[in-house]
Structure 1
Amino acid sequence: MSAQSRGTQWRIWDLHVHTPASVVQHFGPNDGATWDRYFAELESLPADLKVLGINDYWFLDGYRRVLQAKESGRLQNLEAIFPVVELRLEMFSGVGGPWKRVNLHVIFDPDIGVETIQQQFINALSNEFALAPGAERASWSGAVTRESLEDLGRAIKNSVPTPELPDYGSDLQEGFNNLVVPLQAVKSLLGKSYLKGRTLVGIGRAEWADIKWADGSIGSKKSVINFADLVFTASQDISTWRNLVEGLRQSNVTHKLLDCSDAHHWSDSVQYERLGRCNTWINASPSFAGLSHALGEFDERVHVGLEPPVLSRIRRHPHHFIDRVRISSSDPSEHKHFNYEVPLNSGFVAIIGNKGQGKSAFLDSVALAGNSSRTGEFAFLNPKRFLSSGNRSAGEYHSELFWADGSERRRSFVDGHDPAGPVQVEYLPQAFVERVCTSDPKSVDDDEFEAELRSILFTHIPEDERAGELTFDALLARRTQSVEDKLATHRRDLKRLVESFLVSCRFRATNWLADVESKIAKKDAEVKKAEADLGAARGELKALEAHGNSNPELTVLRETATELAKQRDSQQANLATLLVDAGELEQHLLRLTSLEQRIEAASDDAVSLNSEAAELLATSPPDTAVEGELVRLVVNRKALADWRARTVRTQASNAASTRSAQEELEDLEERLKSATPCVSG
């Protein structure tokens, strides 16, 4: 088996980069010195940035020069370079300034030759070009060259008032800005044989977003973005990327957003549109097919941020990831069966091949070097095959694992499992899988498979979440017991709440709120009437005193009325106390009833516990047997009955005293009324 590619990896892709040959750029003059610095900066890009898209608007000169540098031995840090053409559509957005037209980016398969792109796309669009509104006073020759665009820009600038010229860019820039093409013409060309299936279309998000969602533009706004395969942005804050993606998704339009640099400046510039300022990670091969695949699985293969989650896991736990596998012999010239090194992908690895092509041999070798405990079930490295007594050279071969943290482990083919060492690779050999998959669900083999799965699951639980347990079953039991304890507590609390609720319901059933309020209102009315009568009597007494304080009869009547009023006030206070005592006695009886119900519930629980204990003890060894009841609840029912009887008697006595007090109060009221007319007379 020869060395193979590691497969798809996470790389940074910046598909929107300008060069010194671009229509708009801030690198400097398009000369040798500027290009030398440009290539040096490309070679100093972040190590993870492996793919560039060279975008110089209509022109491919910059792409040609970068490609030539790559072919001559420079830019070896870059794995792929894509040609990109950016053009303006016959569509305006709501933004002002020179970049007010919607931008369309066409990404070409790098395998397409530069001349093919020039002839089959750029030149083929010549007959479709039109001047943007406001530039009709200029003329257009029909061929896209730097000179023709400069002529167009110069003519446009000559047609505007002199005070407005500072608002315009260079002749080349203004010529480019005012040259537009219809979307349909682009669609038609990209569907022809030379280009069909070999291009991807991107649209600038900022300009597209400024097209108003109005009745007259909503159709064209959706049409142009849904024609695109992806959307470009150059955000100053990458934390907004996910919200932008979701916003596009909710608008039911193309949401595959790539945040690229749109580099017009050197890497040391303070401007955000600078070389190397890109955090778009794509998990794909560095090719046109890889990019197309990644866009098809956008949510899984595209990430914008400092690093994808999988790379974060590798960085935090490098000892969990195998970097590569080496299988060789002590003397490759003498022992030639195995001599290769295979890099492994940190994500997903599939081994494909016909029977007898080494799949089991490779897997057994990896498991052996990882100290798997299932060496007895290896399909290749076993005494019946490669490790047979007739193969004396087996001990000359070894397998070696190189981990992402730089550590390595080497084992000879004749070595077995090391019980004292850690198991670094969990391995389910084919024989084991076949046995458990064809076994009876109630057999030992099925239990073994479940135990293996539990063991693997346990290895993926972080140490700080294992609660000190050593196995999955122990951790599950601890977690389950905790949940059961919480449920039991909640059941007890709920039971108490239900009992309290039932007591309240019974009280309300025998004491309607309207009745209680009616009685209170009646007593309030009686008290108010008595107070009014008392006031009237006192007034009459004062009047009599004014007419004749020396009258002995009046003096006696006044003293009698005063004494009756005192007795009435005292009796009212006594009655109020008796009513309060009656309410407290009623609440006392209700609480006593609740307590009796809880005692009965506890008695039921004790019976249930004794029943469970009896079942458990019935299966226990003889020396662990327990005689009698395990739980015994003693209830002094006589004391409880006496307590209730005393309370009921007290309640009856209180009721009698209340009736007597009410009768005495009524008698006093009558006597006070009788005294008042006499005084009046």
Structure 2
Amino acid sequence: MTGSLNTQGSTWNRWDLHIHSPYSILHNEFNNDWDSYIDRLNDLEDIKAVGITDYYSIDGYKEVKKYKEDGFLNNIELILPNIELRLNISTTRDRPVNFHVIFNSEVSTDDIEDKFLRELEFEYNHRKYKCEKSDLIKLGENFVSEKDSEETALRCGMEQFKVSMENIKNIFKRHSTIFKNNYITIVPNSSEDGNSGIRDNQFVATRREIYRFADFIFSGNPQDKNFFLGKNNYSETIEQCGKLMPCVHGSDAHSLESMGKPNYGRHTWIKAETTFRGLKQLVHEPEQRVVIQPHHPENKNNYNIISKVNFQDNSCSLFNETDIEFNPGLNTIIGGKSSGKSLLLYKIAQAISEEEVNLREKDYLWKNPYTKTFINEQPFNVTWRNEENSNTNSENNSGKVTYLPQMYINSLSEDSSNEVLQEKIKSILLEDENHYRFLKEKNELLTVTRNKIEQNITNLFESLQKRSEINNSIEEIGDKKSIEKEVNRLNSELQEKVKQSKLTEEEELKVEQVQTAKKSLQEGLKNLEASQNKISNLSKKLQSINEQVNESLNNNEIYDENDQNIMFIIKNLQENIGESFSMANLKLIEEKNKYSQKGNDYDEKLKQVNEELHPLIEKMNNREEIEQLRKNLEKQNEYVNKITSLEDELGLLEENIIKLCETIINSKKEYMDIQKSIASYFQSIESLNGINVYAYLTFNKENFNEKFLSQFMRKGKIDNIFDRNYEMNIFNDEERFIFEEQNHINKIKYLFDTTLEITENKLKKNYNKRSLIHALFEPYIEVKFDLYKDHDIISEMSPGKRGLVLLELFLDINNENHPILIDQPEDNLDNRTISQDLVNFIRKKSLERQIIIVTHNANLVVLTDAENVIVANQDPQLKENENRRFEYFTGALECDFINEENTNKLLSKGIKSHVCEILEGGKEAFELRERKYGFN
């Protein structure tokens, strides 16, 4: 029986359960050519199981079985006897309803013939005939002439022999110790000789009884399949049949040419081990276990399927080096505590992708328990279905895998805003090219806007520094009003002194005229100097702007530096801009030179005025005193002119500071508007297989406190720094920032304005206003994604449901089809959620991707109809294991046997028995699955 162990479990294979043999008495076109018949069976390379069919006989089956025992038909793994009967019920076309009984090949042929066929009875003319050759010939002789052969009489007897369902039921009941669970009944559904041919309303109950007695339906019609699976009308199917039923189809071959060739290419594919037990699983899984179609049902790519794994270089004698087989569908690893289940899953992940394992550790949601242990160093190999290998000793492994360690999803679900989950949601959203392009464009805009804010903050503090320097310069010169008052005083004193001089009236008038001319020349010279200073400042400003433009164009975040066409355009633009700035500077220099020439002219005229004034001054009695007054007056006028010039420059600077502040706030608003547009866009997208995305803006209060508030020297409440805090609702009682989308920019503007005005003694050492403003405008706002399903936001779900939704999201990536490894996905889930939601999700997902899960829950093994079960066991004393401490064996769920001679060994039991023993509720799970389809 252990031949059903260490396999890939339930796999898709072609079955043909309706091939007649050359011993079939009715409609035989084989001409008793057994050699050609066996050759034809040998040629059916793509068929793994056959039902050898005869009317009221298993002679053909016995003959084929003998060939198999003699070494023929190695291509066929399972041969079953199919007995075709005729019921004593007719269709509207006056033909008896056909009825098939397929027996387990483990039932002896003697029991089938003695305890079933010979106990079938047909009564004619007050005599009972048994279903054996001699009686069938005698029955036939009632309807043929004496000249006819025994073969003709046998054929006629078979045509006349009809059985009742009651007869069949009684036989199975009478010999239940032999036949219980060892037979399958099948009724065709054709209108000619099948059950649907019973149309008369008087026989509705009869038709229903036949359906209820039958296990399968012989039909390749898609409409029949939908009806018997309850797809059209579930209630009507249950009313008619009492249960859901699988449809199977065979070639119904009566000739060599038709063997294995059903009409319309309607081949029967069954997902099961090629045993009678595997076939019986169709009763319990009528939809998932069988399909009728021309091509193979399993279409996963070979490079996405793990075929087998094994431990290598087993010098420590802890692990067997034999292969552990895996199914392309759902594989479940079961075992007791510390049996090596999670160990096996980890080694598979490690061999395929160390990066995947490291990623889980970096997420800080899982701590690797195997680090620095012998398990981590144990060599391990994974073989893919395309015959490529991945192993722990190679740096260039092929294949990819998603690995979810134990409690990883639960940790992930504790905070829906954590970075791991946020990145996972984004990766799913960005699979759509439109979503990817939209977000890329918006992120580029955010980068540009962010850089603009940073640059303008830099410009702002350069202007603030310049303002401070100008104010210091004015302060060093003195108070303008006081200086102007002194100028008035000196003028009055000078005029008085001049009046007291010995100059004539004409000379005094001349002095006054020359002094006026001199003053005019001095003012003109001052204005020329001011103009030259403005030109110099403008030239410096143009140079700064040119450098900023070049720096922005050199920022490769706004374009692809590998795109040569773009690079050419940018370089050409830089050259043109540079030439324009150079031309402008040349013209400014020309203007400055013109002012310099005018200044020289003024200097020359001033020299002439001084020469003209000098002899007149010499005539004055108090000329030294007057000269000193004049010099002092000139100096004070210079101070006034300098202050006036600085005040003019300060006025322009103040205007620039105001504009920069407005630009910074507007850019902050622009940044937030871009983020709002991102949230709005993703808020409106379609659901991801029933899971909707809720996009919103969130404010990182921890970062804000750490980067901005932490710079203040705190004494008392925060209101002492920001006096409008309560009015504007900026900080709560715990002094945490209150984020409100509609008022956020107003709050930032207030903090900005207030911060610019505070004194730096309110800041901690090593901090200043510049660092504070940069911290204020850090991008604390982020676009976050939440999920909701069935109108429930994930953050408001129970931990179990939240974990289930995250598991669905984590694994529902459309363009990823590589294997999924999950360690105990049932953690924190109640039984109802497991048996319904989680089971349905895993079953659905296993149709698309290979899944390998470690589980303690029977429902995840049985109700998911796991194709392959891996039993793990750790046994240091080797009481249960064969020869290693850690041992694994695999098989299909339907693999069930018990070796009574040595029950303490693991291999003495089949998979089903281990499921029932190891997993709590295993027996109940099998019963629940059977009740689901109407079986008791």
TM-score (norm 1): 0.57
Kindly report which structure 2 residues correspond to 1:108-257, keeping only aligned pairs within 5 A, or say none.
Answer: 108-125=103-120, 128-131=121-124, 142-158=129-145, 170-192=152-174, 193=176, 194-206=178-190, 207-233=193-219, 235=220, 242-243=225-226, 245=228, 250-251=236-237, 252-254=239-241, 255-257=245-247
Q: Matched residue of 1:191: which SS?
A: helix
**Alpha carbons of structure 1 residues 264 and 247: separation in structure 2 relative to 1, 3 Å:** farther
Task: Check 1:467–1:23 CA distance in 2 against 1; reply closer, same or farther (3 A cut).
Answer: farther
Secondary structure of the residue aligned to 1:298 is coil
- Give yes or no for contact 1:231–1:258 (8 Å, CA) kept in 2: yes
Asked if the contact 2:249/2:266 (under 8 Å) is kept, the reply is yes
Q: Distance in 2 between matches of 1:195 and 1:286?
A: 20
Could you say what secondary structure the match of 1:406 adopts?
Answer: coil
Name the CA distance, whole Å, in 2 between partners of 1:465 and 1:92. 63
Q: In 2, distance between residues paired with 1:456 and 1:351?
A: 29
Separation of aligned partners in 2, 1:612 and 1:65: 84
Q: 1:370-407 deviations in whole A, cap 9, x for unaligned?
A: 214224457564115545xxxxxx4xx42222222332
User: Number of paired residues?
Assistant: 445
- Could you give the per-residue CA deviations for residues 123-182 of structure 1, whole angstroms, max 9, x where no partner exists? 122xx3124xxxx5xx967343435434433431449xx9xx9xxx95433221111122
Match in the other structure for 1:286: 274
- The residue number in structure 2 matching 1:19 is 21
| Counterpart residue number, 1:39 | 38
Q: Is the 8 A contact 2:216 2:248 kept in 1?
A: yes
Name the counterpart of 1:373.
Answer: 356
SS in 1 for 2:40: helix
In 2: Cα distance, 1:374 partner to 1:80 partner: 42
* 1:481 match: 681
Residues 334, 374 of structure 1: CA spacing in aligned structure 2 closer, same or farther, 3 A cutoff? closer
The letter of the residue matching 2:392 is R
Say if 1:16 and 1:53, in contact at 8 Å, map to a contact too: yes
1:242-293 CA distance string (max 9 Å, x none)? 4564579645333432122111121368x9668x965111212222222222
Task: Supply the distance in 1 between the matched residues of 2:143 and 2:685 (Cα, whole angstroms).
Answer: 83
Q: Tell me the equivalent position of 2:102.
A: 107
Root-mean-square deviation over aligned CA pairs = 4.2
2:303 is the alignment partner of 1:327: no
Amino acid at match of 1:45: L
Q: Deviations over 1:459-480 (max 9, x none)?
A: 9x6x779756999x99xx9796
SS at match of 2:68: helix
Secondary structure of the corresponding residue to residue 17 of structure 1: strand
Q: Structure 1: how far apart are the matches of 2:415 and 2:25?
A: 75
The aligned residue for residue 83 of structure 1 is: 81
**Does the 8 Å contact 1:361/1:380 carry over to 2?**
no
Which has the bigger relative contact order, CA under 8 A and spacing at least 6? 2
C-alpha distance in 2 between matches for 1:58 and 1:617: 93
Q: Quick check: 1:615 aligned with 2:744?
A: yes
**1:267 and 2:257 equivalent?**
yes
Instruction: Indicate how the Cα distance of structure 1 residues 347 and 433 shifts in structure 2: closer, same or farther if over 3 A, else same.
Output: same
Shift in CA distance, 464/142, structure 1 to aligned 2, threshold 3 Å = farther
Q: Do the aligned partners of 2:105 and 2:276 also contact (CA within 8 Å) in 1? A: yes
CA distance in 1, matches of 2:209, 2:318: 62
Residue identity in the other structure for 2:283: L
Distance 1:56 1:478, change over 3 A: farther
Letter in 2 for 1:108: F
| SS of alignment partner, residue 402 of structure 2 | coil
SS at match of 1:181: coil
Matched, 1:426 2:402: yes
TM-superposed CA distance for 1:112, in Å, is 0.7
What secondary structure is seen at the aligned counterpart in 1 of 2:337?
Answer: coil
Query: Could you tell me how far apart the structure 2 residues matched to 1:84 and 1:448 are?
Result: 61
Alignment check: 8 A CA contact 1:53 1:82 kept: yes
Q: Distance in 2 between matches of 1:13 and 1:449?
A: 47
* 8 Å CA contact 2:87, 2:162 repeated in 1: yes
* Secondary structure at 2:6 match in 1: coil
Gaps of 5+ in 2: 444-676, 687-739, 753-772, 778-936
Amino acid at match of 2:182: R
3-state SS in 2 of match to 1:129: strand
Q: Secondary structure at the match of 1:362?
A: helix
Deviates more, 1:74-83 or 1:401-410: 401-410
Say whether the 8 Å CA contact 1:380–1:386 is kept in structure 2: no
Offset at 1:185?
Answer: 1.1
One of 47, 56, 59 as aligned partner of 2:57: 59
Instruction: For structure 1, list consecutive stretches of 5 or more residues without a partner in the other structure.
Output: 388-393, 487-610, 626-681
Identity %: 23
Taking a change above 3 Å as real, the CA distance of residues 151 and 42 of structure 1, as seen in their structure-2 partners, is: same
Matches within 5 A, 1:429-578: 429-430=405-406, 432=408, 435=411, 441-442=414-415, 447=418, 450-451=421-422, 454=425, 481=681, 484=684
Aligned partner of 1:306 among 290, 294, 301: 294
Contact 2:29-2:254 within 8 A present in 1 as well: yes
1:568-612 deviations in whole A, cap 9, x for unaligned? xxxxxxxxxxxxxxxxxxxxxxxxxxxxxxxxxxxxxxxxxxx96
Pairing partner for 1:382 from 371, 384, 403: 371
CA offset digits 1:428-483 (Å, max 9, x no partner): 2226457557xxx3498xx3674586489679x6x779756999x99xx9796166
Question: Would you say the 8 A contact 1:149–1:172 is kept in 2?
Answer: yes
Secondary structure of the residue aligned to 1:367 is: helix
User: Partners of 1:197 and 1:435 in 2: how far apart?
Assistant: 46
Is this contact kept in 1: 2:97–2:194, CA < 8 A? yes
CA deviation after TM superposition for structure 1 residue 120, in Å = 0.9
Does the CA contact (< 8 Å) of 1:88 and 1:180 recur in 2? Answer: yes
**Structure 1 residue 89 displacement after superposition:** 1.3
